[in-house]
Amino acid sequence: MVSEKHQFTHPPKYNWKEAFWGYLFIAPGLLGIILFSLFPVLAGFGISFTKWGILNQPEFIGLGNYIQMTRDTLLLKVLGNTFYYIAVSVPLNTMLALLLANALNQKIKGLSIFRTAYYLPVVSATIAVSMVWMWLFDSNYGLINLALAFFRLEPVHWLTNPLTAMPAIIIVSVWKSAGWNMIIFLAALQDVPAELIDAAQVDGANKLQTFFRITLPLITPAVFFTTIMGIIGSFQGFDLVYAMTKGGPARSTTVIGYYIWQLAFSYSKMGYGAAVSYFLFLMILLASLIQWFVRKHWVYGE
């Protein structure tokens, strides 16, 4: 008798009938990806090598658009605005979401109401959110300036002052998206083993020490995910800028996502806009790769 370790099993035959039905079921989704994702990406790459004003025929200019980027001083200002937006909004979003998740991880009355209230901005329409905050930021009649006047402070021209316009956009961005990260952190916090928390408290650790020595290291995978998604989303920021400031005043809130839209659809520079969009793709890719390679030094379990 052949021993068990010497018995060989033949791989099952490929079932063409099952494969046919499998591919048939995924065909609509696959077709959608090809038509609305893959094809536009490839077409945009081709357009980036042309000079095209939408209404005329594309003219092939090779690397002309990419060379022009090196001389575009406005692009440098836009990149500065974008990095400023990312550097402030992503840490604020992460910290606020973590604080909210910790607060809502407690046993309090009306917990589901609070969780729904904090998540509500995430599912609210950006245009509606923008209109509400534009009224709050209004220089003359906004509630924020009325509150400042109550304390005998001078009104702030939030959206018309180049020094305060970007902070105003950041405030709205953090307010709108913190609920999404809160849900992710809440799920991560609920996966932290309770026995580790109990053991730390038995050893004499207070709540702050327990959080930084036990809880925070265990939820670093969630921190990594929210950070990388926050950076990608901030690089692509467009809607709040378009609705609230139109990139002004004095280009102080023009981020690269809005600048690409302006190039393509306001200035009819489709080729140059496509080239800048691929430059944006490279920046997002580089930022993602850097985070991916350094994750092993601070993400638990890597």
Predicted confidence (pLDDT) per residue in 138-188, tens digit: 988 899 999 999 999 999 999 999 999 999 999 999 999 999 999 999 999
Tell the residue number behind the tokens 């209230």, with chain if given: 117
Q: Residue 12 gets which letter from DSSP?
A: P
- In one-letter notation, the amino acid at residue 274 is A
Q: Which residue segments constitute the domains of the chain, with CATH numbers given?
A: 71-297 (1.10.3720.10)
pLDDT of 7 strictly over 70: no
* Per-residue pLDDT at 110: 83
* Higher local confidence (pLDDT), 225 or 20: 225
* Per-residue pLDDT at 55: 85
Q: How confident is the model at residue 17 (pLDDT cuts 50, 70, 90)?
A: confident
- Pairing assessment for the beta strands 50-51 and 59-60 based on DSSP bridges: antiparallel
Structure tokens at 72: 């575009």
For 30-49, what is the mean pLDDT?
Answer: 93
Residue 297, classed as helix, strand or coil, is helix
For 122-140, what is the mean pLDDT?
Answer: 94
Q: What is the CA radius of gyration of the chain?
A: 25
- Residue 20 Cα distances to 9, 12, 24, 28, 32, angstroms: 25, 17, 6, 14, 19
Q: How confident is the model at residue 11 (pLDDT cuts 50, 70, 90)?
A: low
pLDDT tens readout for residues 215-246: 999 999 999 999 999 999 999 999 999 999 99
For 261-275, what is the mean pLDDT?
Answer: 95
Which runs of consecutive H residues, i.e. helices, occur in the chain?
Answer: 16-33, 39-47, 64-69, 73-103, 111-123, 126-136, 143-150, 165-190, 194-202, 207-210, 216-218, 220-235, 239-244, 256-261, 270-294
Tell the residue number behind the tokens 């973590």, with chain if given: 98
* Per-residue pLDDT at 12: 67
Cα 241 from Cα 253, distance rounded (Å): 7
* Per-residue pLDDT at 5: 52
Q: Are the CB atoms for 112 and 133 separated by under 8 Å?
A: no
Cα 198 from Cα 243, distance rounded (Å): 49
| Continuous segment of H or E residues that includes residue 50 | strand 50-51
